[in-house]
Structure 1
């Protein structure tokens, strides 16, 4: 008799605890690269924060409010901030520092804190569009490399780490006696 009443009390207690305990949902790991889409994607507001993924031959931007897909074979150009720095180094890069009111210096500081990825793509009717994304430093080059490997096109070839523009050839390095 005592055993039966303890069993009933235990079942009632477990029922109450099970009913009041909030259900837990396993969190899915975040996939893709966290980006800010500055402008350019159809149906997505400017400066929207979301994730950029490569799935099924498409570049997908997903935010809480919108989703956009661009087939990789329709991307005619992919350019990163590092590509732009390689192209505009030297005299032109130095001259941009002298923009009125220190604007060039300000912009160069801003560019070093984030990576940028710009794409040009064609829609189904052949119209040319562009989109600009910013992301954490070090992410844009890897994303560009993966996009080109899956069918996107680029006007500036991908540079390997070994051939980095910062590395000097052996003959150009300073020799100490």
Structure 2
């Protein structure tokens, strides 16, 4: 073969290499972390198991009664839950381990929180979710058990609602 008849080889190899690198980058960036398989215990003593959440869209919100942003966002969290619960949204509000249980129970009862409220008494849930220390921190978990989005601070609620619509209907 002459050099001119092999001239196509280098561009083809380069194109294949670019495609492989691009696909590799896509798959790395597209991998979503699987949510930890935890059993939460609600303030009513109810066990919220991974099996009871399987196949559902779930919001896990780490919060504290001493967190002003948490308290400010809670009515919007209630509205979000009420808007999507009929479509199957599950919501677990996880109180941080430094939050006194009686404060959490009082807050949940006086505000009539409509979703499950759990205590993270030993801090294991916060640790399992990547050492959550800032409140509020909210995770949206898809039906496949993978984390769709993590919000630090108050979410952009219109964007959150759009994400929930897609996840619940998808």
Please report the TM-score for the alignment, with normalisation by the length of structure 1.
0.30
> When you count helix as a share of all residues, which structure comes out higher?
2
With a CA cutoff of 8 Å and minimum separation of 6, indicate the structure with the bigger relative contact order. Answer: 2
> When you count strand as a share of all residues, which structure comes out higher?
1
Please report the TM-score for the alignment, with normalisation by the length of structure 2.
0.31
In our comparison, the structure showing a higher alpha carbon Rg is: 1
